Amino acid sequence: MLETTKFSEYLVQEMLRNVLSWDGTTDEAFKILNENDDLMKKYQSLSEKNLSEMENCRLEQLLVKTRRMTDYLSKEKNEFFNKINQLNQAHKIRNQYVYDFSDSYFIDKDF
């Protein structure tokens, strides 16, 4: 039982260490979230009901830091899709302009 408790505390500490090492980039955020997902699966498999006060505090910190990271990723995703929409709009305008002037016209020389 004591071994399980120490291992669960270690897992929480590792997840917290990962999020605290985040450098603010998207790539690093994905890397950390994937690593922490694996660690969280191990942690949940222990299914220990009684958390120590230290473990509970670290889990709360982990939640706050992870939420900050996911909020950042959500903002980045929205900015990316806005840029894609702007490019699509410019592409549509260009295509319409080219389409309007690409119709061939018959000119009667005997007119």
Written as one letter, the residue type at 9 is E
- Per DSSP, 49 falls in state -
The Cα 81–Cα 75 span in angstroms is 10
List the domain boundaries for the chain.
53-80
Q: How far from the centroid of its chain's Cα atoms is residue 97's Cα?
A: 37
- What confidence tens digit (pLDDT) does each residue in 20-29 have? 999 999 999 9
| Rounded Cα distance, 76 and 69, in Å | 11
- Between CA 38 and CA 47 the distance in angstroms is 15
Tens of pLDDT along 72-97? Answer: 999 999 999 999 988 888 777 777 76
How far apart CA 57 and CA 70 sit, in angstroms, is 20
Stretch among 49-63, 77-91, 95-109 having the lowest mean pLDDT:
95-109
